[in-house]
Amino acid sequence: MGRLDNKFAVVTGATSGIGEATAIMFAKEGAVVVGTGRNEAKGAELLAKIEEVGGKGYFFKCDVRYKDQLQALHDFALEKMGKVNVLFNCTGVCPPFCSFLEQTDENLQLVFETNFRSYAWGMQMFIPDMIAAGGGSIINVASISSIWPELGSFYYGSMKAAVSNLSMNVAKEFAKQKVRVNTILPGPIMTNMTPDFVKNNPEEQAKMIEEHCYLGRLGVPDDIAYGAVYLASDESFMMTGEALVIDCCLCISN
């Protein structure tokens, strides 16, 4: 049996990086998955990968910055699966690294809409369904940037800190209805969001590993997906309002 048998999951940001890896791993562990993204071609690739691991999934094109599209995602998920008891909020953008004085209003608006507001809207829409289903698990992707300074990434880290705080408060309100809300705080994970000066520079990667990644390598999306499976499963029933740090020992001592 899979660890997520009889689970019905929605994964946002599912066409690349952490979201894609998690959607595939959820399906591999037995969950039925609705993945979202803005690129239909990548959505088709996601479904093919889910099929390869023997899973079942659907794709819904959605820009989470818009409430009507999130509502359509909600309705699609309920139509296809009948219920939703796992929500993995993973959409995210990271503006170019620069001085705080050079950050623009457009950067702030984009990060707020994508990295915070969409998470709040998604939780508001799916929590009533989880209560009706007897409980559920919401997993919000924050960042290690939310608890330690990362120069150049001011709005990104601030919105991720807001996600963590919101998650704790929502967890407290709905714990008695058995709706659990936790966050994952990834460290340096190599995805399409990794800044180019790191992604395209082996020397910079080696420097990061030497200075921060005490376990000897940068992270990959599956490293986060493993944690997400745990939080989505009944194995983590006693966890709510918590932050799961997966960072290869990068942050606390530096």
The residues near 156 (Cβ < 8 Å, ≥ 6 apart) are 92, 93, 94, 95, 111, 115, 143, 145, 150
- What region, left, alpha or beta, does residue 152 occupy, with left being phi > 0 and alpha being psi -120 to 50 degrees? left
Q: Which tokens hold the place of 103?
A: 């950050």
The answer to whether 214 is a known catalytic residue is no
Q: Any idea what DSSP says for residue 177?
A: G
Which residues make beta-bridge pairs with 58?
34
Rounded CA separation 215/250 (Å): 9
Sign of the C-alpha dihedral computed for residues 204, 206, 207 and 211 taken in this order: positive
Out of 156, 214, 226, 230, the active site residue is 156
Rounded CA separation 65/117 (Å): 8
Stated as kind and residue range, the H or E segment containing 27 is helix 17-28
Neighbours of 57 (CB within 10 A): 25
As annotated, the active-site residues are 156
